[in-house]
Amino acid sequence: MSFLTLAMMWNIMSVEGIWYQSWGIHGISKRMAEIIRAGGSELWLGMPVKRIVVENGQARGVVTADDGFTGADWIVSNADYKTTFLELMEPTAVMGEFLEKVGSAPYTGSELCVYLGVETNKIDLSRMRATHLFYCARPGQAEEIRPGTDVLNLESKEIELCRWTDNEPDHAPPGYLGLILRVGFDYDHFARFRTGEKKRTPEYQAYKTELALKLVRVVENIIPGLAAGAIELMEVATPLAYRDWGHRYQGSIAGWSWRADWTRNFGRMLLGETPVRNLLLAGIYAPSELFMGGVPTAIRTGELAASLILDNKI
């Protein structure tokens, strides 16, 4: 991501505030589905794609999870580049050099996210005077996190705290606060619990709950009383949730890496057009950097994909 775009985004998030759809997180998608059906088109929701069929360098259709084939003149993939080209099609469908670029280009990392409903009269918020805060209990210490092991030192990790209902008080009942805790976590640390699409080992629920409570205890340095019975509701998302419900490769949360050096792999910002004829990409991985957040980026790239298809049909 360019320094200018990053600075602009942080200025908006810090000064103006982060926005979201007034219709709710699924509002735009539901409205689009209504418009598509009203126009006479069909939708198959909840039917994962197993494979994109490519013949002679051109996308011809998809094979769904039930092994059904659906042919199409055009395909728009909302999956990310790595999933689309490394998992959903045969390696021979595109040039090896392109696959190497896709495989080596880094994505942003994943995270553990804890959503809390907290009784305000049981906590002390005097140390967290800001709505949004980044905190590290012991900066400079090694994280000491090894794949396949327990977490030894959460105090060394940077934790993001957001008093979500400060700006939306109607989202919590009187006397309660909506609080979000986020901390970066490698996907590999949780991969051992994944047994399939949205399937987990029996130990997963207890482990992620234990991990969330450890995070709460660290945050209690900033919000005293948080770990002492103030929590009324807790939901926990791990990188596995970002992968299976967010459909993001290894739980990546924000598209391609924000490092400036990798962009030379592709040499352009908009990546909606692909080496496979009649295969387009939309979503936060369709450009090399986000512009004004994930939802605006997804909407704009979807519009570009639709325009390309219509332009080629006229």
Q: Give the domain ranges of the chain.
A: 44-106+255-313, 110-244
Contact in structure between 74 and 59 (CB atoms under 8 Å):
yes
Query: What's this model's pTM, rounded to 2 decimal places?
Result: 0.81
Contact in structure between 229 and 83 (CB atoms under 8 Å):
no
Q: Which two tokens stand for residue 126?
A: 């005097």
Q: Are strands 58-64 and 69-71 parallel, antiparallel or unpaired?
A: antiparallel
What are 194's strand-pairing partners?
200
Q: For the chain, what is the radius of gyration of the CA atoms?
A: 22
DSSP H helical segments within 39-166, as ranges?
81-82, 96-104
CA-based nearest residue to 286, from 261, 306, 313: 306
Tens digits of per-residue pLDDT, 131-169?
A: 888 999 888 765 555 444 455 578 888 999 999 898 888
> Confidence band (pLDDT; 50, 70, 90) for 105?
confident
**What Cα–Cα distance (Å) separates residue 285 from each residue in 79, 142, 159?**
8, 32, 25
pLDDT at 288 over 90: no
- Amino acid at site 145: I
CA-based nearest residue to 163, from 122, 209, 117, 208: 117
Question: Which residue did the predictor score with more confidence, 253 or 61?
Answer: 61
CA angle at 277 for the pair 103 and 267, rounded to the nearest 5°: 45
What is the domain class of 44-106+255-313 according to CATH?
alpha beta
Tens digits of per-residue pLDDT, 80-95?
A: 999 999 999 988 888 8
Neighbours of 206 (CB within 10 A): 9
- What is the predicted pLDDT for the residue at 210? 92
CA-based nearest residue to 252, from 131, 110, 89: 110
> Confidence band (pLDDT; 50, 70, 90) for 8?
confident
Question: Which residue did the predictor score with more confidence, 236 or 229?
Answer: 236
d(CA 223, CA 127): 7
